[in-house]
Structure formats: C-alpha cells, structure tokens
Copies of this chain bind each other. A is one copy, B any other.
Amino acid sequence: MLTLYDNLSSGNGYKVRLLLSQLGREFRLVRKDTVKGETRTPEFLAINPNGRIPVLVFDDGRKLAESDAILFYLAEGTPFLSMDRFARAETLQWMFFEQYSHEPYIAVARFWVHVLGKGEEWRDKLAEKQERGYQALAVMEKHLASRMYFVDNHYGIADIALYAYTHVAHEGEFDLAPYHNVRAWLARVAHQPGHVTIDKADFG
C-alpha cells in the first residue's frame, strides 16, 4: 500500500490526499508535525533530504516528493490528467504558477495567521504577502472568466493544485468576496465526486 508522509494542516499534502481519495486508492497516512520539527529529523531527512512533506512512499521503497510532481504521477492515465501534449503542458504551467506565484504568498500568509498565530505581530510582512497573493488571485479570476476549470474545461490536477490553498485563503485573512469566478470555481471543485475536506484524517 502507498504511504503518505503528511501534515493535515498542509494544503500541499491535502492535494495528494484529495486526488488519492478521488482515485479510490487506499493509502496509509503518517502524520509529521512540521512546526515541531518532525520533518527535520535524521529519520525524515533519509526519506526526503529537502525536509518537506508531502512524500509518497511506494511498496518497493521508491520515494517521491513535491506535491505537484506526486499529483502528476498519480493522475497519469486517469481522467484527472489529459493525454493531450499541450493540455499536459498547460496543467504543468498552472502547477508551477501555483508553487511560484500563489503558494509562497497565500499559503505562507495562512501559515503565519492560522498556524503560528502571528497575524498581528507580523502585520507588515503579512501585508506584503497579501499583496502578492491578491495578484495571483487576480490572474486566476481572469482565467476563470470564460472557463469552468483551469485546463480544457475539465476538472483535473491543475484545479486540485490551486484549490488546496485557495479554499482556505480566508485563514490567511484574504477576502475572496470580489473574486466571483474564483468562488464559483471553488464550489464546483468542492462538488466533485469523491471530494474530501482538508481535515479528513481517517484514510486506509
């Protein structure tokens, strides 16, 4: 059985939990508390030298890190990833957008406010993160003006990657009220068959 090293509060980990659930694949969840340093122990660094969750470990011992690389691997040959070469590249484009232009602002703001409780103390640097986070949301809002989903009008791993931290952006004090297209898309994603919430902990 697949083993997923993960932290329930992590949107990056949630991406993998959500896809595995929607694929109907059983897996063992091993929770690691990043705040307590459980991903910086020698034991964990032997699993991922970069000291981050999520990591997917296969029965034969192979390991795969980086949430969006794991999504791409798992989605291969399923309806969650197109077979079309250009649509696959667009899927990757949105996943790299997520990791470079979205997650470092929206996820980090949420981590500071929601996990560390530093929203007041770090007000100034939080404002910087929010400014960049709103830029990412504006890009998404524009793209979704004429589309149901991010790539090929078909729900897939680009949506899962972007949903993970967007749907909890309010926990980083983002106000999604003006982002009508983003909110409608969030609702569509949440109504997909097999959807699970970020706090679901009982797997396999």
**Chain A residues within 8 Å of B, Cβ to Cβ:** 49-50, 52, 62, 64-70, 72-73, 76, 85-86, 88-90, 92-93, 95-97, 99-101, 103-104, 139, 142-143
Contacts and interface: CB of A to CB of B under 8 A. Distances in A.
Given A49-B143, A142-B49, A73 B89 contact: yes
Among all A-B residue pairs, the 9 with the closest Cβ atoms? A73-B89, A69-B92, A66-B96, A69-B93, A66-B93, A99-B100, A49-B139, A50-B139, A69-B89
A64 B93 CA distance: 7
29 contacts: A49-B143, A50-B101, A52-B101, A62-B86, A64-B86, A64-B89, A65-B93, A65-B97, A66-B100, A67-B96, A68-B92, A68-B96, A69-B90, A69-B92, A69-B95, A72-B88, A73-B85, A73-B86, A73-B89, A73-B92, A76-B85, A92-B92, A96-B96, A96-B99, A99-B100, A100-B100, A100-B103, A100-B104, A104-B104
Contacts of A50: 97, 101, 139
Contact of A70 (B68, B88, B89, B142): B89
Main secondary structure, interface of A, reads helix
Given A50-B101, A104-B104, A96 B73 contact: no
Contact of A72 (B89, B100, B139): B89
A104 to B, nearest CB: 7
A64 B90 contact: yes
Contacts of A49: 139, 142-143
Contacts of A104: 100, 104
Contacts of A64: 86, 89-90, 93
Contacts of A99: 96, 99-100
A97 to B, nearest CB: 6
